[in-house]
């Protein structure tokens, strides 16, 4: 179904391009403006690269790099110049785009956010990362759930960010809400390479869902990001994979949401997204539809607690240089609450 990277596009195909963006260094507003212009340039490259491309995806930290800097002067907002530039680029080149921002939050730490913009320049999806990569990342926990939208060619499209993909519940939630294609943007570096690969494949197979996954690439003088653009079919097989980590290379493939729908409807064996809520339907009509999972009921009740919880060593960001937080989830900073 790759169609030579989407060069031979089928009527039902969606061609995705994953940009293994060179890892930037962003310290000042001028740096932010330069990096915004670079991303806009690469939207144009994506369109020139493949006339049939429907969606171009940029990694997490595409604007801000991996410094974890929370300086308000370089934070973004939905009505800021960065998003405006991305909207204009998508409209000019008639292509959908997925972009990453660190979003200013007057009530707490910034959010690590992702947006999807359509080929007319309209904002279609807005997501805040639910699971920042602790203890390394200082971002506020996301509060918008996992939105799923109607994407290019009518596909059902979802977005999660980096560490989110290490929790199988994230991909399951996206699929449960209808996602046929799930994007996973990331800034991961080389130590995560193997877990990146097998979680991308398991997220696809366990949910009969295409996943399109990409990291930053190259070095900023301190960190070395790995690229690893990876498009995985709904059966867990890898369709396209950027294994050389070449900065700014665009990894492309055609995917078929219509075949995702067909599998979800017609598969018996390993139709896990259905079977999860219909256990043993061979034995009992409709299958068991209870919730036998203690961690789910405890989480819903606000009583999630591991048997070894009291022995866990790292429970805040002090090991990575961040002060121990004092706010509870849902509380605003004192200055914002006044």
Distance CA 253, CA 6 (A): 5
Are the C-beta atoms of residues 128 and 104 closer than 8 Å to each other? no
| Count of Cβ atoms closer than 10 Å to residue 293 Cβ | 9
The per-type count for the chain, helices as H runs and strands as E runs, is 9, 14
14-20 and 55-57 strand pairing:
parallel
Beta bridge mates, 218: 225
Catalytic residue among 98, 129, 180, 215: 129
Are the C-beta atoms of residues 175 and 273 closer than 8 Å to each other? yes
Q: What is the strand order of the sheet 96-103 is part of?
A: 123-128, 111-117, 96-103, 55-57, 14-20, 249-255
Task: Calculate the CA 248 to chain-centre distance.
Answer: 18
Active site residue 156: no
CB-side exposure of 338: number of CA atoms within 13 Å?
2
Active site residue 162: yes
Catalytic residue among 60, 82, 137, 228: 60
Catalytic residue among 76, 98, 155, 162: 162
SS3 of 105, please? Answer: coil
CB-side exposure of 305: number of CA atoms within 13 Å?
7
Distance CA 202, CA 182 (A): 13
Are the C-beta atoms of residues 57 and 11 closer than 8 Å to each other? no
Active site residue 60: yes
Residues annotated as part of the active site: 60, 129, 162
């Amino acid at each position: 179904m790759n169609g030579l990277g989407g060069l031979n596009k089928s009527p039902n195909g969606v061609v995705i391009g994953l940009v293994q963006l060179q890892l930037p260094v962003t310290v000042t507003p001028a740096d932010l403006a330069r990096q915004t212009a670079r991303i806009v340039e690469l939207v144009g490259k994506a369109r020139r690269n493949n006339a049939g491309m429907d969606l171009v995806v940029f990694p997490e930290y595409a604007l801000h790099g991996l410094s974890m800097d929370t300086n308000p002067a370089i934070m973004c907002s939905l009505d800021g110049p960065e998003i405006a530039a991305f909207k204009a680029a998508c409209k000019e080149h008639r292509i959908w785009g997925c972009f990453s921002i660190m979003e200013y939050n007057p009530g707490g730490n910034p959010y690590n956010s992702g947006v999807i913009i359509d080929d007319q320049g309209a904002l279609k999806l807005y997501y805040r990362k639910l699971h920042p990569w602790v203890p390394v990342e200082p971002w506020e926990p996301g509060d918008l759930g996992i939105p799923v939208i109607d994407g290019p060619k009518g596909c059902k499209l979802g977005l999660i960010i980096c560490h989110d993909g290490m929790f199988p519940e994230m991909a399951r939630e996206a699929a449960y809400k209808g996602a046929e294609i799930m994007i996973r943007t990331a800034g991961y570096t080389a130590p995560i390479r193997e877990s990146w690969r097998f979680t991308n494949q398991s997220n696809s197979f366990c949910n009969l869902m295409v996943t399109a996954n990409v990291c930053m690439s190259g070095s900023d003088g301190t960190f070395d990001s790995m690229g690893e653009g990876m498009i995985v079919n709904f059966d867990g097989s890898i369709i396209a994979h950027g294994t050389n980590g070449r900065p700014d290379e665009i990894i492309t493939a055609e995917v078929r949401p219509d075949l995702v729908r067909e599998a979800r409807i017609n598969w018996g064996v390993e139709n896990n997204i259905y079977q999860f809520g219909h256990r043993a339907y061979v034995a009992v009509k409709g299958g068991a539809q209870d919730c036998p999972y203690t961690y789910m009921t405890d989480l819903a009740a606000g009583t999630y607690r591991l048997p070894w919880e009291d022995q866990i060593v790292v429970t805040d960001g002090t090991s990575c240089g961040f002060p121990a937080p004092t706010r509870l989830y849902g509380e605003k900073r004192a200055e914002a609450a006044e």
